[in-house]
Amino acid sequence: MGSRTLAFLTARRTRLVLAWLVLLGAVGQRGWQAWINFRVPDRPDRNDGHTSIDYGGQWMMGRLLLLGHGRDLYSRARHLEVARESYPQDREAPNASEHDAERLVGYYAGPADDPVGGPLYPPVHAFVMAPLALIPDPYLSYRVAQGVMLGLVLVAGLGVRYATEGRWWWSAAAGFMLLFPGCRGAIDLGQNSPLSLALLIWGWGLIVRGRPGWGGVLWGLLAFKPVWAVSFLAALLLLRQWRAAAAMAATGAGLVLLTLPVVGLQAWFDWLHVGKLAADLYAVDRNWIFLSRDLFGIPRRMFLEFHEGTAVADRPIAGYVGWGLWLLVASATALVAWAGRRLPTQVGPLPAVVILGAWLCTYRFMYYDVALAALAVVALMSDPRPFFRPAWWPFASWAAVLVALLLLIENAIAPVNLELTGSVMALKKTVTAADGATHLAAPTFFVATGDYYPWDTVTLFA
C-alpha cells in the first residue's frame, strides 16, 4: 500500500497537477494579500499603499518626467508641488494627522530645508516608471503596478523554463518564484524586484543558451538599479562571461547617456547627493536597518541602541564589522571563482556560488530584494532531478533542504510574526542594585520572525 501511494505521489502526472495547484494557490494568495494590505478603513479609497515612499516615490519620478520636469527629478519643492496636485486631501482619512503629499515628501532622506531630495533611484528609473505614471491617479496606478509585478513573476517563471530547456516546468518555476522570499513584499508594495528578477532570469537564460550578448543587454537594463547592476556585472566578470559583461556595461552606459537630453547632467549629481543623504540615514534609522538584508545591516542590529526609531549613536564597530563581513564574502566568492575556473560557468555549483556571493555583496538592499537570490537557486538546480528522489524523504541534497526551509520561513513562519523570549536559568546570578537590594538575573535571548528579521539571508548564507 505504501509503495503504491508513493508511486502515485511521484508520478509525473501527479506532480504536474500539484505544480499547477500550487501555482494557482500562490497567485490567488499573493493577489489577495496585495489587495488587502495597507488597509485604512477610514480613507475613502480604503488603502494608503500608494502614499508610501516605496510606490509613491517611484510614481512621482515618472510623473515629474511626464509633466516636463525632467530636470527637477530631485527638487524637493517640485516634488511637493506635484504631490499636492496628485494626492487630493478629500481622499485622506478624516482624522489624518498629516496630509498625504507632505508625508510622502517627508519620507525623503535629508533635512526638509535641503532643496535637493527625492527617491533613491537614478534618473533612468523615471523612464521606467513613466508608463505607470501615465495613470494620473496614484491609487489606481498602484493597483495596476501590483498586477504588473505579479505578472512579471510569472514571466520570470517562463524564463526559468527557457533557461533550463524545459527541465523546470513553467508551473513549478512560477509557483516557486511566487513563494520565494521577497516576492510577497515586492507585490504588496508595488516594488520593482519582480522586474529585476525577470531581467536577470531571462538574461541568464540567453547566456546559458548561447546568446551571451543579448543576455548582457538584458542585464544592462538594470541601470535603473545601479547597486544591483554593479554586483551582477562583477558576477559575469568572475564567471569569465566577457561578451555578456561587455554588452551589459555598454547597455547601461548607453541608457545613462540617453537620459541626458531630457534630465540633464545636474540631475545625476543631484542623485548622488540624495544617495549620500540616504546612506547617512540608513546608518542610524532603525526601520531601514531592520528591513534591510545586506551584510552591512547585520552588525548594526547588534551593536546600535535605538531610541524612538533612531540610533543613539553610530558606533564605529558596526561599520567595521559590516565591512569585515563584506570582505569575507567577496574574498570567498572570488576564491571560489578562481579555484573553479575549469568548472562549467553556466550551470552547477560555481555560477550559483558566484551569483549568491554577488547578491550578498550588494551595497544595501531591502527584504523584498531577496527575490533576486532565486537566480542562484536556478543556476544550481538547472536540472532538479539529482536533488530529489522518489522516497518519503524526497531530498537528495542539503541544498534542496535549505531551499525548502527558505520557502517554509517565508510562507509559514514569517507571516505569523512569532516572538519568543527566553532566559538561561542555569547561568543565573545574584545582582545587587545601587540601593542594596538583590535579585536573580539570567542571560536572556529574543527570537522573532517577520519582515524585520533576516532569517532568509541567514539561510541563504548557509
Q: pLDDT digits over 101-125, tens only?
A: 999 999 999 888 899 999 999 999 9
Q: Please say whether the beta carbons of 219 and 244 come within 8 A.
A: yes
Per-residue pLDDT tens digits for 221-251: 999 999 999 999 999 999 999 999 999 999 9
Q: How many CA atoms lie within 13 A of 158 on its CB side?
A: 8
- Give residue 201's domain range: 5-414+455-461
Q: Where are the alpha helices (DSSP H) in 294-423?
A: 297-303, 316-339, 349-360, 374-380, 398-408
**CA 42-48-52 angle, 5° bins:** 145
pLDDT confidence of residue 24: 96
220's torsion region: left (phi>0), alpha (psi -120 to 50) or beta?
alpha
Whether residue 399 lies inside any domain: the answer is yes
Which residues share a beta bridge with 310? 285, 307
Residues in the chain: 462
Structural domain tally of the chain? 1
Cell of 24: 494557482
Per-residue pLDDT tens digits for 385-444: 888 877 767 777 888 888 888 998 898 888 877 777 777 777 677 777 666 677 767 766
Average of per-residue pLDDT across 153-175: 96
Whether residue 294 lies inside any domain: the answer is yes
Whether residue 403 lies inside any domain: the answer is yes
Q: Please say whether the beta carbons of 350 and 239 come within 8 A.
A: yes
Cell of 264: 540633464
Whether residue 72 lies inside any domain: the answer is yes
Q: Which residue has the cell 507632505?
A: 102
**CA 421-426-430 angle, 5° bins:** 95
Whether residue 427 lies inside any domain: the answer is no
pLDDT confidence of residue 462: 67
7: exposed, middle or buried (Cβ count in 10 Å: 0-12, 13-18, 19+): exposed
Average of per-residue pLDDT across 26-35: 96
pLDDT confidence of residue 132: 97
- The rounded distance, in Å, linking the Cα atoms of 240 and 343 is 11
Q: Are strands 306-307 and 310-311 parallel, antiparallel or unpaired?
A: antiparallel
Q: How far is CA 191 from CA 48, 188, 195, in A?
A: 15, 8, 9
Whether residue 442 lies inside any domain: the answer is no
306: exposed, middle or buried (Cβ count in 10 Å: 0-12, 13-18, 19+): middle
Q: Which residue has the cell 539571508?
A: 457
Whether residue 432 lies inside any domain: the answer is no
Whether residue 426 lies inside any domain: the answer is no
